[in-house]
Structure 1
Amino acid sequence: MKCSKFFVSLFVASLCVIAANAQKEIPDSTELLFDSNGSFTRVVATPNEVKAKIITKNPMIDDVVWRKSVLRIIDLREQANRPLYYPYTDLEPEGQKNLFSIMFANFLDGKLVGYKSQSNPEQTFVPRFAPENKVDVETFVNEKGLAYLESTYDKVNYITPGVVKYYIQEVWWFDKKTSTFDNKILAIAPLYDKKYGTEDVETGVWFWFPFEKLRPFLQEEFIKLNGRNVAPLVNFDEFFITRQFYSYIVKDYDLESKDVDKGIEDPDFIKQEQERIENDISNFEQDLWSY
């Protein structure tokens, strides 16, 4: 009897300790809508969370029996792509970011390497991500006349409004081992247009980034998907991986690997060529599951 009372007392004491610890536990700040100052909490992913979430697709060469690579444009003036553009003013390190501010700030701070071909000036040409094609940050800043801007985000805010398009190079493939039809973004480049930015900086593509190297930074920041409801939390990487953007093809890496509008002036013919390439991809996937 005494033994039973002892175990009951021990059990009750354990419950009291657990309850006391629960009361003392301070909830994670990211679980609260407002921070200690009464402002909206800025939700970011921790390095461990980023590492755990990133899944890299890399099939065996011999298992890929069909493959097609294309170059696309993401136009931020399209409704579906606007979350990548806003906010485009008054950006700061601890505030809401847009796509360009993420990549440009990390490039300027030396955390993300940009590449540009030294021999091919075509803006649709994706360079080899090799040491000889690295863009030197200091040289870039001086050439673009940005040296007088003191901080990283002074430079970011000066350039950001003019970036209204992105090139993305991607590949689609069929893996016979897993019987999966998949895709992956290989590279991305911002396209600056001085018509939307400043006349002091020329229009063009200044650098390309390996998308896989950019992904950890995209995982850290969350995007506002809807102007009417900004509650859903989706990070920039998820936005791309789930293909929530709208884009159109400008180059097919086939035998000739030429831009779809090269030698064609009629916009209707250009659109037909774009649709043909899109159909090559979609028809292959549909044909797979029709047998």
Structure 2
Amino acid sequence: MKRFICTMALLCTTIGICQLPAQPKARKAKQETKESGTTLSVRAQTQYTGQLTMPEEVLWKREIYRTLDLKQEKNSALYYPVEPIGDRMNLFTLIFKLLAEGKIPAYEYHLDGTEVLTTESKVKFKDVLDRFHIYNQAKKGTGKDTIYIVDNSDIPSNEVLSYFIKEVWYFDQRSSTYNSKVAAICPVLHRSGDFSMDITKYPMFWLNYNDLSPYLTRMNVMTSNLNNTSSITMDDYFTTRQYKGDIYKTTNMLNQTLAQYCPTDSALVKEQKRIEGQLKAFEEHLWTSPADTISAKESDKKKKSEATEKTSVRTSRRKTSSTTVSSPKVKKEKSTSTAPKASVRRQRR
């Protein structure tokens, strides 16, 4: 009896499995692409974030815009390799592939250089290809969307020779920490005209660094010519500020760049140094009381006055020693007369 019941149960299970409907091809293809890891889930994005999240309400913050020249050695990690070598690729090649696959959005670069990371400012990948004359092949996808295929040799990564980045320096009152983070990044294309050899810079688009950060944590970069080991990730490279960039703008109420109110190159360099000094001075004044700063200034003034007094005494001594003239020794003149001297006895006579 038990054997009969087991046989009937096995038969019913087999019939039920055979009567199940087949999985649709579209759903199966969607599931395969989802499992292949082409896109990062929300959990993966929060897991791979490298920078600290800035709270919405902070007591103090300063927004700085820099330009990164990839010809400098500290920034060359973003340029090498020009064309992909296996899994290794430079920053713009990674950005271009992510845009082509629709994994990250790009935003319009406005004429004033300010980024607007809103839905209305998003740009399509097709517009980027047409605007910068990038060769591509259009193919129809599974749905109504069109897929644009660009070969690695046609990606203009060799022409992207600089980047604009936006830094945010802030003081977090909750943790009493002074931090900075990269908020946005913009690749800049360097091209010469058809009838001219002059290089023209074309800012391409803005990217929200938070959208790009999860993918940068999975890519290692080489940061030294002496050590060719890719020891850190590209996100660590930005988080630890291993790049070198010159300030060209700060967020101000007149929305002016440094070049607009600095008439000469020397004034521009002086203004850049002044802003860098302000960032360092703010951090130093956070952890010292006003009395300490006043006493430190007084001690510095005292040391300077003592040093000036010592130098003045030394110079006065040198002057006096140089002005005093040694009196010449007077030599007794010898008598030149050749007449014989008379003795005392003869003189008396």
In structure 2, the partner of 1:86 is 80
* Bigger radius of gyration among the two: 2
In structure 2, the partner of 1:97 is 89
Pick from 140, 158, 162: which aligns with 1:161? 158
Partner Cα separation in structure 2 for residue 83 and residue 230 of structure 1:
11
Task: Give the SS at the match of 2:258.
Answer: coil
Partner Cα separation in structure 1 for residue 156 and residue 230 of structure 2:
28
Change (3 A) 1:155 1:133: farther
Partner Cα separation in structure 2 for residue 148 and residue 179 of structure 1:
51
Pick from 254, 278, 282: which aligns with 1:284? 282
In structure 1, the partner of 2:232 is 234
Code of the aligned partner of 1:83: A
Partner Cα separation in structure 2 for residue 52 and residue 254 of structure 1:
35
Structure 1: gaps (5+ residues): 1-45
Partner Cα separation in structure 2 for residue 60 and residue 83 of structure 1:
30
In structure 2, the partner of 1:57 is 52
Task: Give the SS at the match of 2:95.
Answer: helix
Partner Cα separation in structure 2 for residue 50 and residue 61 of structure 1:
20
Change (3 A) 1:51 1:61: closer
Asked if 1:133 corresponds to 2:125, the answer is no
Code of the aligned partner of 1:289: W
Provide, for residues 87-118 of structure 1, a one-character-per-residue CA deviation record: whole Å limited to 9, x for no partner. Answer: 113x26x431111111111112211111005x
Cα offset, 1:121, TM superposition: 2.4
Cα offset, 1:135, TM superposition: 0.8
In structure 1, the partner of 2:271 is 273
Identity %: 24
RMSD: 2.7
TM-score by length of 2: 0.61
In structure 2, the partner of 1:143 is 131
TM-score by length of 1: 0.73
Task: Give the SS at the match of 2:157.
Answer: helix
Cα offset, 1:143, TM superposition: 3.0
Larger RCO, structures 1/2 (Cα 8 Å, 6+ apart): 1
Task: Give the SS at the match of 1:268.
Answer: helix
Code of the aligned partner of 2:156: I
Asked if the contact 1:71–1:169 (Cα under 8 Å) also holds between the matched residues in 2, the reply is: yes
In structure 1, the partner of 2:184 is 187
Q: How many residues align?
A: 236
Change (3 A) 1:61 1:268: same
Pick from 231, 244, 247: which aligns with 1:246? 244
Change (3 A) 1:50 1:232: farther
Code of the aligned partner of 1:165: S
Code of the aligned partner of 1:58: T
In structure 1, the partner of 2:100 is 108
Structure 2: gaps (5+ residues): 1-39, 139-147, 290-349
Partner Cα separation in structure 2 for residue 156 and residue 65 of structure 1:
48
